[in-house]
Chain A
Amino acid sequence: FPVVPEKEEEDMQFAKKYLENFYDFKEEKNSLFKAKNLNRMADKIREMQSFFGLEVTGELNHKTLDMMKQPRCGIPDVRS
């Protein structure tokens, strides 16, 4: 079934927080950069999928979200 929009938004926020914590994702706060943010977030999703050996799609699919929800260590996987 199509995902309920609020759930989708919730997952997006969760993923953004995860990528900020563990993949050094920095979101431009200015809404003018929305497209740029989405591209940057897709890059970070690709980086995370590659780290965990998932299919690298850049999309926040079910498997990727599942992996993000696993209990884990609080130290980033990559760092600047």
Chain B
Amino acid sequence: YSTFPQSPRWKKEDVTYGILNYTPDMLQADVEEAIAKAFQLWSSVTPLRFTRLYSGQADIMISFAAGFHGDFYSFDGPGGTLAHAYPPSSGIGGDAHFDEDENWTKFTTYNGYNLFLVAAHELGHSLGLGHSNVFGALMYPIYMARDTKDYRLPQDDIDGIQALYGATPSKTPTRPEDCDPHLTFDAITTLRGEILFFKGSYVWRKSPYFSDIEHDTISSFWPSLASGFDAAYEVDKKDRVIFFKDDQYWAVSGYSIEPGFPKPIQNLGFPTSVRKIDAAVHDQNTKKTYFFVGNKYWSYNENTQSMERGYPRKIAADFQGIDHTVDAALQKNGHFYFFHGSNQYEVDIKNKKLIRIMKSNSWFNC
């Protein structure tokens, strides 16, 4: 491996990135996934954490351009140079440029270049790595089509990036035990008959088809949403799950993020004073979705796609026994389940009366 002269590196562990524009060769969601997976390759072996910014200037700005594009290194049409990136520093430092005259693809075919592979290489430069003369290394200068499923960083590249940033901290944040009595959740939703419980970057998956609880990371389902959620709910008739993080939301169908997302939560009718929501749950019977923010809640009509009049209302005024904020919410077996800390409150949907209180992880057969 090699580094740039004087080995420039980011002097922090939290590095931001932004996607300035997209190639017309691929779906936007596929571009975002390829970029997110490329960052994960490097964050999985270092203390680095990458956060995407959806506006403003990030440390690493990613763009597609052809020919002359404003720096001293014009691209050269199809073939030849595919992309380039700048070592860590302010301004153009860290930025990665991809030649739009190439055919970009999410596959590893022979009539296009795999964006994930090229982006992973270029982001190596954005983090301070130069080229490697080890054949097969990711930082080898020449493009090599290879299977990207479960692609693992070659050892030479790991040695190089860890020479700059050190290894993954020995104590990687571990998933809490299923039956930890203090277990709390960020968000919970149904999905095609299963129930997904989210905390940090982890997801517990409870399926009616298997007795065991499956443990995954969010990135294994939605790589570009790896850092976790504030709230989530399913509109089963549309086979759609909506995820919320800060003041944005995404719609997914299975593994695919629908194009055009994220969107600002104000699109749903929230006032600008609301910067994030705590929980959301959809009532499949009435087609209404309840959003919980602090001690208030909103009712959203999925048919008219608009907030109902007369909201927000106080949670405690309508849901007796729910005198606190709601971390996560779920509809199952004809009941609502409101999670607060390590407890959950089972509520009768019709009369909104509290039925019983249980531990949040009672779903895990503890």
Residues of chain A at the chain B interface (Cβ within 8 Å):
21-22, 51-53, 67, 69-77, 79
For residue A74, which residues in chain B have a CB less than 8 angstroms away from its CB?
Answer: 73, 75, 81-84
A16 → chain B, closest Cβ, in Å?
A: 14
B300-316 interface bits toward A, Cβ cutoff 8 Å, 1 = contact, 0 = none? 00000000000000000
A51, A69, A71, A76, most chain B CB atoms within 10 A: A71
For residue A71, which residues in chain B have a CB less than 8 angstroms away from its CB?
Answer: 79-82, 102, 113, 142-143
A52, A77, A79, most chain B CB atoms within 10 A: A77
Complex CA gap A57/B282 in Å reads: 71
Please list the 6 inter-chain residue pairs (A to B) with the smallest Cβ-Cβ separation, ordered nearest first. Answer: A74-B84, A74-B81, A70-B142, A71-B143, A72-B142, A72-B141
For residue B82, which residues in chain A have a CB less than 8 angstroms away from its CB?
Answer: 71-74
Complex CA gap A77/B143 in Å reads: 14
Q: Count residues on chain B whose CB falls below 8 Å from chain A CBs.
A: 24
Total A-B contacts with CB atoms under 8 angstroms apart: 57
- State the majority secondary structure of interface residues on A: loop
B128-145 interface bits toward A, Cβ cutoff 8 Å, 1 = contact, 0 = none? 001101010000011100
For residue B84, which residues in chain A have a CB less than 8 angstroms away from its CB?
Answer: 73-75
Complex CA gap A52/B144 in Å reads: 14
Question: Does B48 interact with chain A (Cβ within 8 Å)?
Answer: no
CB distance B133 to A51 under 8 Å?
yes
Look across to chain A and name the residue whose beta carbon is closest to the beta carbon of B87: A75
Question: Does B59 interact with chain A (Cβ within 8 Å)?
Answer: no
Question: Does B70 interact with chain A (Cβ within 8 Å)?
Answer: no
CB distance A75 to B131 under 8 Å?
yes
For residue B85, which residues in chain A have a CB less than 8 angstroms away from its CB?
Answer: 75
Complex CA gap A26/B336 in Å reads: 73
Question: Does B122 interact with chain A (Cβ within 8 Å)?
Answer: yes
| Given known A51-B133, A53-B133, contact A75–B142 (CB-CB < 8 A) | no
Question: Does B125 interact with chain A (Cβ within 8 Å)?
Answer: yes
CB distance A73 to B79 under 8 Å?
no
For residue A76, which residues in chain B have a CB less than 8 angstroms away from its CB?
Answer: 131
| Contacts A72-B82, A73-B84, A79-B130 supplied; 20 other A-B pairs, CB < 8 Å | A21-B81, A52-B142, A67-B142, A69-B79, A71-B81, A71-B102, A71-B113, A71-B143, A72-B80, A72-B142, A73-B81, A73-B121, A73-B122, A73-B125, A73-B131, A74-B81, A75-B84, A75-B125, A75-B130, A77-B133
